[in-house]
Amino acid sequence: MDNAIVLNVEHLCTSFFTQNGEVKAVNDVSISVPRGKIIGIVGESGCGKSMTARSIVRLLRYPGKIVSGSIKLAGKELTELSEHEMSTVRGEEIGMIFQEPMTSLNPVMRVGLQVREALLLHRKVTPQEAKTEVLRIFRKVGISEPERRYNCYPHELSGGLRQRVMIAMAMICRPKLVIADEPTTALDVTVEAQILQLMRALRDETGSGIVIISHNLGVIAQMCDYVYVMYAGRVVEQAETFELFAHPSHPYTAGLMSAVASLERGSDELETIPGVVPNLLHLPAGCSFSPRCAKCGARCGDAVPELREVSPGHLVRCINIPEVRP
């Protein structure tokens, strides 16, 4: 991944300071997003995927706080910006696509005006010029009858159309980076395929780096160039997509892939990972995955494993993985 780096996150730690103690939601996470590439972050619910995204755009709710680490967008250190400066970065340099548009769009404001508002906020254009650009991008993202849809309220649109509006809003300022948090979860498979194809096309047109957060391994395999697997707030494995799916090395990654339905497996029952994601207030000693791991050994509870390279560009946080493959 030696392209020009759009986003470089290094040793990011985000905690929530509660009455019961410190919850380390993001723990020493490092991620790079090259220009024009699509990066995936995958894992079960509660593993820190969305919290990593919210940390990057600094949309943490109280009592959440970035404790340490660096977040650089095209060389600009985001952790040092004031809230006013960061509000300019959001929308203009970072576009966001959220899981459920109905909770992200203003229910009492016409969708065209909401997208226009983003353009007026970040670009020096007149209201009429902004409307013309909104109608253009509505056509680009496949919204039929854009003039009519411009005046619709969110509840008058289907789930697929609402997600297209969110993509239009995220892309209208041609941001350097787009973060898509579970962008297709609420959509049927046909609309999901259309949305994914649209995101690829916009990436090709704008050169934006894209981060896709998902629990859907099919989406990750189809869309991403490089993948980070997260568990209990940490990255436990990272590799180029083909390498990761061909050689899942961490027991957690292998468990996730075994839990996916496959026609080749010849079994009526899906495999599962025993147990649940641990309480971040009371993490087990050593490897956080050890209580659920079939390969757990005596040394697994000694210390948190370091990320080790098992093949070029393929890093794994597990002491039971063999040395570097050729």
Phi-psi region of 233 (alpha: psi -120 to 50; beta: other; left: phi over 0): left
Say what the pLDDT of residue 325 is: 58
Say what the pLDDT of residue 135 is: 97
Q: DSSP readout, 249-307?
A: -SHHHHHHHHTS--TTT--SS----SS-PPPTTSPPSS-TTGGG-TT--GGGGTSPPPP
Q: Within 13 Å, how many C-alpha atoms sit on residue 130's CB side?
A: 18
Give the contacts of 54 (CB within 8 A, at least 6 positions apart).
Answer: 60, 64
Q: Is residue 150 in some structural domain?
A: no
Cis peptide before 127 (omega within 30 of 0): no
The CATH number of the domain holding residue 218 is 3.40.50.300
Q: Is residue 42 in some structural domain?
A: yes
Closest CA to 33 of 6, 72, 55: 6
Contact assessment for residue 314 and residue 249, using Cβ atoms and an 8 Å cutoff: yes
Q: How far, in Å, CA of 41 to CA of 315, rounded?
A: 14
Q: Is residue 152 in some structural domain?
A: no
Q: Is residue 164 in some structural domain?
A: no
| Low-confidence spans in the chain with pLDDT less than 70 | 1-3, 261-268, 323-326
Write out pLDDT tens, residues 308-321. Answer: 999 999 999 999 88
Say what the pLDDT of residue 263 is: 56
Q: Is residue 116 in some structural domain?
A: no
**Domains in the chain, number:** 1
Q: Is residue 132 in some structural domain?
A: no
Write out pLDDT tens, residues 63-110. Answer: 999 999 999 999 999 999 999 999 999 989 999 988 777 788 999 999
Q: Is residue 312 in some structural domain?
A: yes
Q: Is residue 129 in some structural domain?
A: no
Full-model pTM:
0.92
Structural domain boundaries enclosing 256: 5-93+175-316
